[in-house]
């Protein structure tokens, strides 16, 4: 068993670490405060080929693997969780379904510009009444001649309003339950497709999270992804992979908070010595470090399995469950170790603690991850 | 167009610590980087490649096998070819022997239009190797380049001076040295990283591969001998006198008298 990264993965970590330090960290507090989507950062990420890391070169990707992509999300999220989730939602949710299920025509038309970063991707499954129970889809798609007519709405859509391409789930046959759901590739410019309310959130505040509204949106028949009735499978398998991205984001947040905390406890003096000298605090640091490393192994293992073509649903769920709960715990302790200063915006751990919470919720709550894990164990 | 970029792998001085006993750098655990000015030279060469078709950028360095890391990074940024000059005979070189060796390799490489170097390396700070290569090859040279354009078979460069710049036109082939103001280097691209370790291959050249007088290279070809290296004693920060001019002068005289200087 080999736990070392490849030369490519090592260099990707170094390059994205530099990128995050120089391009992402300096604006992280500002975009959080103002809820400003960092378009300029995304443009720089496009230039460095970060938008299609795990996709083959013939479709505009970088020709890398899932672990390299996970390292990218982790390194960005160490400095700014918003930037991490922009990449994760684009890659895992907006682009991967076309790579996995698209026809050759769909790949040439949509996958290539997404993987090259000319387009930004997003994914629409959740509805006001269809969250954890995704089968309760109320958005409908009715075939009329050469087009499907979409009506309904989606909520909490990451990259909403910023993305060019959306993978959207809609009911093509309500009588069949989850087998009546189909997946569509929807362009931002289609008539009747509107961006609704933008959410005002606790964390990842610069990530655009919006409602999507479909009013008689004509989607060409050839934009049906996979086949009619396969939408639920498309969505669930997409989320299996997406969870690895969110797990990587959570891991990055935890590591970022740890890095800040280690620096702080060495500098901060009380009772005449750096607070790092107190064993009570050392034990907290030891727990934090151990959990982060355990999370990293789970996340990398899930990504590795995905790249190798092995099953990864359970591994992705475990990685996401553990990494997100670790992120929450580590960031909370990081604030505690910073004391009163940690509660202010003068130090980044306050933002990291707010950012960490969403990783326990989106792309399947911790409770959903446990359902997936238990389901696998008992199967 | 053929552009040769000479780069040096250096320790990242932001991370460097000095051994207080010996006065030398502690090299272990210190990350190595492409020398910053050399990165500007490479970036400018790559911009010319982006702009002019049929431009080939070859990166050249002299160093131990570990210097491949720097060349792979240059590949990932977009360089087409990379040559590592590595031979025990090259070791211990000062700037003269280094520039002699690099020039010997360039002679072997054949046709070129521009040789691009960084102004100076952050570990040695001599700013000698670039100009010396130019002299070995009998080339026109423009140092401290902060802006560059091509004009037919000529380059038009802004050469930075303390309070302005010269505009200098030179025919090619020419040797240029870059400074940080020239550009903002790109990040290695992810695709480029995979190409660097995949289809692109570093050529390793030894003494036998270059055209050089063996008495002029390595330690024995180096006229500079390091007698001792040491850390200068630290000085205190000094005192800044405040107030209006007559107060400052009065206080200065008081201080000088206190120290019995006047």
CATH number for the domain harbouring residue B198: 3.40.50.620
Mean pLDDT over B143-166 rounds to 96
Mean pLDDT over A214-220 rounds to 98
Domains in chain A: boundaries = 7-116, 121-231, 233-378
- Which of B191, B196, B197 is facing A49, going by the closest CB pair? B191
pLDDT value at position B233?
80
User: Minimal Cα–Cα distance from A123 to chain B, Å?
Assistant: 24
Catalytic amino acids of A? 363
Mean pLDDT over B140-158 rounds to 96
Nearest to A184 by CA among A134, A148, A146: A148
Query: Predicted confidence band at B260 (pLDDT cuts at 50, 70, 90)?
Result: confident
pLDDT value at position B18?
75
pLDDT surpasses 90 at B65:
yes
pLDDT tens digits for range A114-160: 999 999 999 999 999 998 898 899 999 999 999 999 999 999 999 99
Rounded CA separation B260/B262 (Å): 5
pLDDT surpasses 80 at A373:
yes
- Which of A47, A48, A63 is facing B194, going by the closest CB pair? A63
pLDDT surpasses 80 at A288:
yes
- Whether residue B237 lies inside any domain: the answer is no
Q: Does A116 touch chain B (CB under 8 A)?
A: no
Mean pLDDT over A306-324 rounds to 97
pLDDT value at position A246?
98
A279-307: burial string, b at 16+ Cβ within 10 Å, e else = eebeebbeebbebbeebbebbbbbbbbbb
Please report how the helices A7-19 and B68-77 are oriented relative to each other, as an axis angle in degrees rounded to 10: 70
- Which of B72, B186, B190 is facing A12, going by the closest CB pair? B190
User: Minimal Cα–Cα distance from B249 to chain A, Å?
Assistant: 40
Query: Predicted confidence band at B110 (pLDDT cuts at 50, 70, 90)?
Result: confident
User: Minimal Cα–Cα distance from B186 to chain A, Å?
Assistant: 8
What chain A residue is nearest to B191 in terms of C-alpha separation?
Answer: A62
Mean pLDDT over A104-108 rounds to 97
pLDDT value at position B24?
67
pLDDT value at position A1?
73
CB contact under 8 A, B189 and A47: yes
CB A181 within 8 A of CB A137: yes
The contact set of B with A (CB < 8 A) is: 72-73, 76, 186-194, 196-197
pLDDT tens digits for range A145-158: 999 999 999 999 99
- Whether residue B40 lies inside any domain: the answer is yes
The fold for domain A233-378 equals Butyryl-CoA Dehydrogenase, subunit A; domain 3 (1.20.140)
Per the prediction, chain A carries an average pLDDT of: 97
The fold for domain A121-231 equals Butyryl-CoA Dehydrogenase, subunit A; domain 2 (2.40.110)
Task: Output the CA torsion sign for A9, A14, A20, A25.
Answer: positive
Please report how the helices A39-47 and A81-88 are oriented relative to each other, as an axis angle in degrees rounded to 10: 60
Our CA angle for A321, A324, A327, nearest 5°, is 145
List Cβ neighbours of B187 (8 Å cut-off, separation of 6 or more): A15, A18, A19, A44, A47, A48, B77
B232-249: burial string, b at 16+ Cβ within 10 Å, e else = eeeeeeeeeeeeeeeeee
Domain extent for B151: 2-216
What chain B residue is nearest to A14 in terms of C-alpha separation?
Answer: B188
- Position with higher pLDDT, A250 vs A3: A250
pLDDT surpasses 80 at B25:
no
pLDDT tens digits for range B27-45: 777 888 999 999 999 999 9
pLDDT value at position A2?
81
- Helix (H) or strand (E) segment spanning residue A300: helix A279-307
CATH number listed for the domain at residues A7-116: 1.10.540.10
- Per the structure block, which two tokens stand in for A20? 């995050």
Rounded CA separation A260/A334 (Å): 8
- Whether residue B228 lies inside any domain: the answer is no
CB B140 within 8 A of CB B175: yes
Nearest to B74 by CA among B105, B34, B109: B34
CB contact under 8 A, B187 and A15: yes
């Amino acid at each position: 068993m080999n736990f070392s990264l490849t030369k490519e993965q090592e260099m990707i970590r170094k390059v994205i670490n530099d990128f995050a330090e120089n391009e992402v960290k300096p604006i992280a507090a500002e975009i959080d405060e103002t809820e400003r989507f960092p378009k300029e950062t995304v443009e720089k990420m496009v230039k460095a080929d970060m938008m299609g890391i795990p996709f083959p070169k013939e479709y505009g990707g970088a020709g890398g693997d899932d672990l390299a992509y996970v390292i990218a999300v982790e390194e960005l999220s160490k400095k700014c969780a918003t930037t991490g989730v922009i990449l994760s939602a684009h890659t895992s949710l907006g682009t991967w379904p076309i790579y996995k299920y698209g026809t050759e025509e769909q790949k040439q038309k949509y996958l290539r510009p997404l993987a090259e970063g000319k387009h930004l991707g997003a994914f629409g499954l959740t509805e006001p009444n269809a969250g954890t129970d995704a089968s309760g889809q109320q958005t409908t798609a009715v075939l009329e001649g050469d087009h499907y007519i979409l009506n309904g709405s989606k909520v909490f859509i990451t990259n909403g309003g910023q993305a060019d391409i959306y993978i959207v789930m809609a009911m093509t046959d309500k009588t069949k339950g989850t087998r009546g759901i189909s997946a569509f590739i929807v362009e931002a410019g289609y008539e009747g497709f509107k961006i609704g309310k933008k959410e005002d959130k606790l964390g990842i505040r610069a990530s655009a999270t919006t409602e999507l509204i479909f009013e008689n949106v004509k989607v060409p028949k050839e934009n049906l992804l996979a086949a009619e009735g396969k939408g639920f499978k498309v969505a669930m398998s997409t989320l299996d992979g997406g969870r690895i991205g969110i797990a990587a984001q959570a891991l990055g947040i935890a590591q970022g908070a740890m890095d800040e905390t280690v620096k702080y406890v060495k500098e901060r003096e009380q009772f005449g010595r750096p607070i790092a000298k107190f064993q009570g605090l050392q034990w907290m640091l030891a727990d934090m470090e151990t959990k982060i490393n355990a999370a990293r192994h789970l996340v990398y293992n899930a990504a590795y399995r995905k790249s190798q073509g092995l099953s990864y649903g359970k591994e992705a769920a475990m990685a996401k469950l553990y990494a997100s709960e670790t992120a929450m715990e580590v960031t909370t302790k990081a604030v505690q170790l910073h004391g009163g200063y940690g509660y202010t915006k003068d130090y980044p751990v306050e933002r990291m603690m707010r950012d960490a919470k969403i990783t326990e919720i989106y792309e399947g709550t911790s409770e959903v991850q446990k359902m997936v894990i238990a389901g696998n164990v008992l199967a | 167009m053929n552009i040769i970029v000479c780069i040096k792998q250096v320790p990242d001085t932001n991370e460097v610590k000095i051994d207080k006993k010996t006065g030398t750098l502690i090299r272990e655990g210190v990350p190595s980087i492409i020398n910053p000015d050399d990165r500007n030279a490479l970036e400018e060469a790559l911009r010319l490649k982006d702009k002019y078709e049929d431009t080939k950028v070859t990166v050249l360095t002299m160093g131990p096998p570990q210097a491949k890391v720097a060349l792979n990074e240059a590949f990932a940024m977009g360089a087409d070819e990379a040559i590592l000059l590595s031979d025990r005979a090259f070791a211990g070189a000062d700037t003269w022997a280094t520039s002699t060796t690099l020039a010997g390799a360039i002679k072997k490489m054949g046709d070129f239009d521009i040789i691009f170097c960084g102004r100076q390396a952050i570990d040695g700070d001599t700013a000698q190797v670039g100009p010396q290569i130019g002299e070995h090859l009998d080339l026109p040279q423009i140092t401290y380049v902060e802006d560059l354009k091509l004009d037919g078979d000529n380059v038009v460069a802004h050469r930075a001076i303390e309070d302005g710049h010269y505009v200098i036109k030179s025919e090619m082939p020419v040797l240029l040295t870059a400074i940080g103001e020239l550009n903002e280097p790109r990040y290695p691209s992810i695709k480029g990283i995979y190409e660097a370790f995949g289809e692109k291959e570093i050529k390793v050249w030894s003494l036998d591969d270059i055209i050089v007088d063996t008495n002029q290279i390595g330690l024995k070809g180096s006229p500079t001998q390091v007698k001792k290296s040491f850390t200068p004693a630290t000085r205190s920060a000094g005192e800044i006198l405040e107030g209006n001019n007559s107060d400052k002068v009065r206080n200065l005289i008081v201080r000088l008298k206190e120290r019995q200087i006047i």
